[in-house]
């Protein structure tokens, strides 16, 4: 059965575009989800992607365990009680504007930042011969470097490393195999941010 059609509300304190889509589709709760649930849902979603990508479950669990605070007590609390998806903002993974800036601090989409994606994109050709704008790994790395550079004075060193666990992972999960390699479709990324929706080609394969 595909995910429920009705969009569920998503906390503005969840700044992850991917998790926001999962909450909106009712695949994850808006508040607290156990680490097993988060890992299981993400693993099942990945498998619906082009080429059936597979992220290591242990890495997803580790991120979810550390997402609400790095002190051992908080990590243990997440491991036992689950990750608070509606309290990720201001947590250790929050780059506080040092990322793409597409979502502002209230999780509203900033149109100019969303449009800026296209500045890093180029024409791509899908396997079926369809032409569209897309971002391959090299273009995503260029964008992440530029995002880090423009955040000088308000960034942490770790922010550049955190980015490597965001856009390149989205490329793995939501990317399309193009004639010249894997790319993220700009249209699909726009939909992810604006409508909080993963591509229909993936959702139609997801069984609740």
d(CA 193, CA 24): 11
Q: What is the DSSP letter of 110?
A: -
CB of 131: closest distance to ligand HEM in angstroms?
Answer: 24
Which residue, 118 or 131, has its beta carbon nearer to ligand HEM? 118
**Residue 121 Cα distances to 67, 148, 194, angstroms:** 30, 18, 18
CB of 148: closest distance to ligand HEM in angstroms?
Answer: 10
d(CA 165, CA 60): 10
- Tell me, by CB under 6 A, how many residues bind ligand HEM: 23
d(CA 173, CA 56): 12
Interface residue with ligand HEM among 3, 10, 13, 17 (CB under 6 A) is 17
Question: For ligand HEM, what does the binding mask look like between residues 20 and 49, x meaning CB under 6 A?
Answer: ------------------x---x-------
φ, ψ dihedrals at 84, nearest 5°? -90, 100
Is residue 53 a contact point for ligand HEM (CB under 6 A)? no
> Contacts with ligand HEM in 149-208 (CB under 6 A)?
166-167, 169-170, 173
Q: Which residues contact 43 (CB under 8 A, 6 or more apart)?
A: 54, 55, 57, 60
Binding region for ligand HEM (CB under 6 A) out of 13-21, 127-135, 149-157, 195-203: 13-21
Is residue 15 a contact point for ligand HEM (CB under 6 A)? yes
Instruction: Show the beta-strand stretches assigned E in the chain.
Output: 32-33, 83-84, 122-125, 131-135, 176-178, 181-185
Which residue, 27 or 42, has its beta carbon nearer to ligand HEM? 42
Q: Which residues bind ligand HEM (CB under 6 A)?
A: 15-19, 38, 42, 60, 63-64, 67, 88, 93-95, 99-100, 102, 166-167, 169-170, 173
């Amino acid at each position: 059965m595909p995910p429920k059609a009705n969009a569920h509300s998503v906390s503005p304190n969840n700044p992850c575009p991917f998790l926001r889509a999962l909450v909106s589709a009712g695949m994850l709760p808006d508040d607290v989800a156990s680490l097993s649930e988060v890992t299981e849902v993400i693993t099942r979603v990945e498998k619906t992607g082009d080429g059936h990508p597979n992220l290591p479950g242990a890495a997803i669990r580790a991120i979810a365990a550390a997402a609400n605070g790095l002190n051992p007590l908080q990590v243990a609390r997440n491991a036992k009680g689950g990750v608070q998806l509606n309290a990720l903002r201001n947590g250790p993974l929050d780059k506080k504007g040092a990322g793409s800036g597409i979502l502002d601090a209230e999780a509203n989409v900033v149109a100019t930042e969303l449009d800026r994606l296209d500045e890093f994109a180029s024409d791509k050709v899908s396997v079926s011969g369809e032409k569209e704008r897309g971002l391959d790994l090299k273009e995503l790395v260029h964008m992440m470097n530029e995002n880090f550079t423009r955040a000088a004075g308000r960034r942490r060193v770790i922010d550049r490393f955190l980015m490597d666990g965001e856009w390149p992972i989205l490329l793995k999960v939501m990317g399309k195999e193009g004639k010249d390699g894997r790319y993220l479709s700009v249209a699909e990324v726009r939909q992810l941010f604006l409508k909080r929706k993963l591509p229909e080609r993936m959702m139609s394969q997801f069984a609740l």
